[in-house]
């Protein structure tokens, strides 16, 4: 299997998990308890030894293969779509390294349930929010940007009269709207979330 195919397969694998993850985050609109309830329903699918081994392998393969693909194409002129593909991929690689490392550290060393409150502690606490708002926002948007760029490259036909470029733009708009909705839920409708005491270690208390 070529590096490009390996990158594509690992990306598809991660996209399934990311789709479930974003679906879970959507339920934060209805409150933290509903988010955690949906999370507990989904966890048996991906939080087991077999699934986690596949996911962690996919993360490693995605990052290494992605960096190698960027390296081989760095001396060629890029279109706007190729630039979006590359930059969104590089940001996702950085995000995955930080995010996966943080979740594993929270579980293994801090002995915390890496649930809703683990994810939003910094997001809802100043000055940590100055980092976490762009950190999470760019990650969601980069995911949809990466999907949009791939779609634009692979799709050759119009859909309902919409060109591949228009379709890619629609994916970006959908990604932006989803980002806003998720922030609405993860910040308790922009009013802020009260962080339970056991999670205050994440914000230096």
Contact at 8 Å (CB) between 10 and 19?
no
Q: What is the pLDDT along the chain (205 residues), one digit of tens a residue?
A: 799 999 999 999 999 999 999 999 999 999 999 999 999 999 999 999 999 999 999 999 999 999 999 888 776 778 889 999 999 999 999 999 999 999 999 999 999 999 999 999 999 999 999 999 999 999 999 999 999 999 998 888 888 888 889 999 999 999 999 999 999 999 999 999 999 999 999 998 8
Residues 6 or more apart in contact with residue 150 via CB below 8 angstroms? 85
Contact at 8 Å (CB) between 145 and 98?
no
The CA distance from 136 to 35, in Å, is: 17
pLDDT at 73: 78
Q: Which residues of 135-148 are buried (b: 16+ CB within 10 A; e: fewer)?
A: bbbbbbbbbbbbbb
Tell me the residue range of the domain where 84 lies: 3-203
- CA angle in degrees (0–180, nearest 5) for 116-39-101: 60
pLDDT at 201: 95
| Domains identified in the chain, total number | 1
Domain at 112, CATH number: 1.20.1300.10
Q: Which of 109, 108, 94, 120 is nearest to 203 (CA)?
A: 120
pLDDT at 21: 96
Contact at 8 Å (CB) between 118 and 106?
yes
Place of tokens 């762009």: 134
Place of tokens 């001396």: 75
pLDDT at 25: 97
The CA distance from 165 to 17, in Å, is: 26
pLDDT at 79: 87
Contact at 8 Å (CB) between 148 and 176?
no
Residues 6 or more apart in contact with residue 133 via CB below 8 angstroms? 123, 183
> Max CA-CA distance within the chain?
55
pLDDT at 53: 96
């Amino acid at each position: 299997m070529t590096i490009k195919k390996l990158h594509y397969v690992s990306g598809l694998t991660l996209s399934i998990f990311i789709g479930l993850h974003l679906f879970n985050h959507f339920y934060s609109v209805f409150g933290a308890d509903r988010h955690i309830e949906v999370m507990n329903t989904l966890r048996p699918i991906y939080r087991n030894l077999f699934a986690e081994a596949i996911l962690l392998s996919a993360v490693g393969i995605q990052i290494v293969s992605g960096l190698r693909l960027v390296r081989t194409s760095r001396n060629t002129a890029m279109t706007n779509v190729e630039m979006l593909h590359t930059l969104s991929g590089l940001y996702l690689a950085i995000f995955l390294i930080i995010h996966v490392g943080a979740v594993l550290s929270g579980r293994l060393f801090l002995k915390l349930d890496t649930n809703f409150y683990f994810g939003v502690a910094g997001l809802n606490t100043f000055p940590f929010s100055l980092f976490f708002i762009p950190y999470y926002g760019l990650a969601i948007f980069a995911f949809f940007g990466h999907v949009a760029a791939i779609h634009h490259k692979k799709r050759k036909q119009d859909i309902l009269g919409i060109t591949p470029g228009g379709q890619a733009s629609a994916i970006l708009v959908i990604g932006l709207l989803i980002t806003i909705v998720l922030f609405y839920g993860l910040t308790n409708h922009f009013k802020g979330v009260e962080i339970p005491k056991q999670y205050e270690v994440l914000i230096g208390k």
